[in-house]
Structure 1
Amino acid sequence: MHDPSTGDAAIRPAEFWDTVAGLVTAKVEPVIGRGDRQRGPVIDYLRDLEALARRQCGSRETVQIIASGRRLLGDRSEIGPSDGPFTHA
């Protein structure tokens, strides 16, 4: 489980979450099929973003988009508490 420690500075406005699909695509596409050195930082970013989305975003679809991006890069780790919102996203 990956749960970054974030403060109020990490709170994202609702408009940010509306842009996540494009953001994930822009981060993931260039590193698909690349080595761990290229994929690793993007996977870490997506893990952090997913953990933040699970706390702040009310959209299951947004969480699923981020998780799908991580899976495309080979990351199978679970993000978030087992009893939190969007547990089965």
Structure 2
Amino acid sequence: MIAEHVTAKVGPALRQNRSAREPVIAYLRDLEALVRRECESRAVIQVIASGRRILGDRQEVGSTGGPFSRT
């Protein structure tokens, strides 16, 4: 379900300029940090990180604790 949600956010953002993408990128960073702390699926983290990269975001997102805090 999260993968479909991310895809639904990233697709329309790709048709916008960089400044219009920033809110989506910020949202995905926050979502990734949350998922790293609370989710048990590495695949979900990869989908979110890929969506951010597709939108041009190169910032590393990490959190302390959680099973995938260093992924």
Same fold per superposition (TM over 0.5)? yes
TM-score normalised by structure 2 residue count: 0.87
TM-aligned CA deviation for residue 84 of structure 1: 6.2
Q: 2:35 aligns with which of 30, 53, 58?
A: 53
**2:18 equivalent to 1:20:** no
Structure of greater relative contact order (alpha carbons < 8 Å, 6+ residues apart): 1
- With structure 1 as the length reference, what TM-score do the two structures score? 0.70
1:37 corresponds to: 19
- Provide closer, same or farther for how the CA distance between residues 21 and 45 of structure 1 changes in structure 2, counting only shifts above 3 A: same
From 65, 69, 75, the equivalent of 2:47 is 65
Percent sequence identity over aligned pairs: 57
State the superposition RMSD in angstroms.
1.8
Offset at 1:83?
Answer: 8.0
Give the CA deviation at 1:31: 1.2
Give the drift of 1:85.
3.7
Match of 1:80 among 58, 62, 66: 62
2:11 aligned partner, one-letter code: E
Q: Which of 1 and 2 has greater Rg? A: 1
Which range is displaced more, 52-61 or 26-35? 26-35
Letter aligned with residue 35 of structure 1? N
Structure 2 letter corresponding to 1:47 = R
Higher helix proportion: 2
